[in-house]
Amino acid sequence: MVKKNYSCESSDSCSLISCTGISAGSSCSESCSSTSRSSSTEPSHKSSSSCSSSASCLSTHSSSSLSSCSSEQTYSDNSTNKTTESSTCESSTVSSCTSNHPSPPQSCSKCDDVSSSKCEKQCYKKCEKLVKKYNHAKEELLAISDIIVVLNFIKAKLVAVQPNIDLRNVSKYTPEQNIDWLECFVDTLFCVLRKNDAYKIIKVKDCKLKNDSSPEVIDNRTYLIKIKYNVKCDEVCRNLPLVFDWTQITNNDAKSFKGILNNVIRQIDTYIKGYQAASTVPFLC
């Protein structure tokens, strides 16, 4: 009697299990043990083998698979010419695959065909009329754009200066001193506007109107923005007054002075909305 016992352990990539969506990054462990016995005196040879395989593959697509298979073969010798084979296989597979990147759609929908839609026939004469109207008002529209830039500049600075009013201890100064401090700031703004050469069409000047009352009495202050520009052969003048209602100050505190500046900001907003509406007139039929 010859008796052979051997065992082998090998590590291989998943050759027994295929995981949908996984092409690489798998590790498997496989163990196989086999025992074979043979006897010369027995008329028939019996061979039994059992193989169990368990594999787990981990990748960006998380999947787990478990497979077990057991088979048993019994056969007689060559003299009997009879072979009997019985096999039993049980497999249970659990797989869950999640992907960080969604898969592309299987089919792409075609864009709508414009020719299939019922489009209204365009009126080219009407379009040409509007284009001519726009070209005729092109210089006016450029001037309006420059005026809006001027107004937004003044508005932004009147908003930005208000934290400095909070930092200034206005109660330590007289109301007249606080008004002179703010008017000096406004004078600087208009000085910058006069020196600005970035405007395409307009020319900006300012006029600081004198108070009618005596210097000892608080009075309102009006700044007049004077804008000139040419349209074709005509000269257009626009005067935009900004009124600082210093007489509306109730208390000598930061809140009162910021309230006066906010009133001027509302005046500027009204001008801006009016010019924005005027810039749409050439597009109206």
Q: How far is CA 99 from the centre of its chain?
A: 24
For the chain, the average pLDDT equals 72
Is residue 164's pLDDT more than 90?
yes
pLDDT confidence bin for 36, thresholds 50/70/90: very low
Determine how many CB atoms are found less than 10 A away from the CB of residue 257: 24
Nearest to 96 by CA among 69, 58, 68, 67: 58
Of the given ranges (9-23, 128-142, 147-161), which has the lowest mean pLDDT? 9-23
Q: pLDDT (tens digit, 9 = 90+) per residue, 52-91?
A: 444 444 444 444 444 444 444 444 444 444 444 444 444 4
Nearest to 182 by CA among 227, 225, 226, 218: 218
224 to 112, 211, 273: CA distances (angstroms)? 56, 13, 19
Place of tokens 């932004």: 156
Q: Report the C-alpha gap between 200 and 273 in whole angstroms.
A: 21
pLDDT confidence bin for 11, thresholds 50/70/90: very low
- Per DSSP, 137 falls in state T
- The residue from 43, 68, 91 where one domain ends is 91
In a domain, 24, yes or no: yes
Do 141 and 272 have their domain in common?
A: yes
Range of the domain at 204: 124-283
| Contacts of 179 by beta carbon, 8 Å cutoff, 6+ apart | 218, 221, 246
Query: What is the token pair recorded at 223?
Result: 């700044």
| Contacts of 191 by beta carbon, 8 Å cutoff, 6+ apart | none
- The residue from 91, 115, 141 where one domain ends is 91
- The residue from 91, 116, 148 where one domain ends is 91
- The CATH number for 164's domain is 1.20.1330
Query: Going by DSSP bridges, is the β-strand pair 234-244/221-231 parallel, antiparallel, or unpaired?
Result: antiparallel
| Contacts of 84 by beta carbon, 8 Å cutoff, 6+ apart | 74, 75, 76
Do 31 and 159 have their domain in common?
A: no
Query: What is the token pair recorded at 150?
Result: 């001027």
In a domain, 99, yes or no: no
